[in-house]
């Protein structure tokens, strides 16, 4: 079993109104000095069997084409091998 985590985040130059709203709320609710908040998506993918180069290549492609929008989002892919 392999566990792959794909984090998808708006590119730094894209405004993030959701993050801005959370930033305001955190401040009002007692957290001081919040400089910035960005909100993204996280996909936790569990695969049968081990990771190999083929699967890694397919995952890398799909993370860029299916799980994120390359026009406005960046992604990071982390493999956590379990077995």
* Residue ranges binding a second copy (CB under 8 A): 1, 7, 9, 19, 22, 25-26, 29-49, 55, 58-59, 62, 66-67
User: In this structure, are residues 37 and 20 in contact, taking their beta carbons and an 8 Å threshold?
Assistant: yes
Looking at beta carbons only, is 47 or 79 nearer to a second copy?
Answer: 47
Shortest distance, CB of residue 78 to a second copy, whole angstroms?
A: 12
**Is 71 in a helix, a strand, or coil?**
coil
Shortest distance, CB of residue 9 to a second copy, whole angstroms?
A: 7
For residue 49, what are the β-bridge partners? none
- Taking alpha carbons only, the member of 74, 62, 55 closest to residue 2 is 55
Shortest distance, CB of residue 53 to a second copy, whole angstroms?
A: 14
For residue 2, what are the β-bridge partners? 47, 81
Looking at beta carbons only, is 1 or 71 nearer to a second copy?
Answer: 1
């Amino acid at each position: 079993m392999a566990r792959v985590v794909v984090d998808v985040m708006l590119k730094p130059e894209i405004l993030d109104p959701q993050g801005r709203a959370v930033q305001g709320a955190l401040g009002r609710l007692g957290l001081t000095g919040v400089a910035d908040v960005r909100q993204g998506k996280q996909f936790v993918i569990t695969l049968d069997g081990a990771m190999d180069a083929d699967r890694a290549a397919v995952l890398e492609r799909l993370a860029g084409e299916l799980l994120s929008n390359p026009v406005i989002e960046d992604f990071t892919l982390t493999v956590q091998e379990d077995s």
